Amino acid sequence: MRVSVAVAWPDRQEVLDLDLEEGATVADALARARELLPHADLQSMSPGIWSRPCPLDRRLREGDRVELYRPLVADPKQMRRARARRK
């Protein structure tokens, strides 16, 4: 089964195309990605499939795009409130 793993860094994005066995999970895809990106700290990122957060035990389907999301630096709601107060 063919899936991709996308990792967004602050300055670039990496997309890995992987061939996994049927029944593979998000955790399996991330384990393979760690082999290909040994320098990356993928543990601190949250997984999702096609922009929707998901657990690590979620089974993958052909063509899925596993995405890794970095932790937020600032809360978007608080930032909007601060901008509104300044105006």
Range of the domain at 13: 2-86
Per-residue pLDDT of the chain (87 residues; tens, 9 = 90+): 999 999 988 888 889 999 999 999 999 999 999 898 887 777 778 999 999 999 999 999 999 999 999 887 778 888 899 899 987
Q: Which residues have C-beta within 8 Å of that of residue 51, sequence separation ≥ 6?
A: 67
- Eight-state DSSP code of residue 43: G
Number of domains in the chain: 1
Q: Which of 52, 9, 40 has the alpha carbon at shortest distance from 32?
A: 40
Check which CATH number belongs to the domain holding 18 and give it. 3.10.20.30
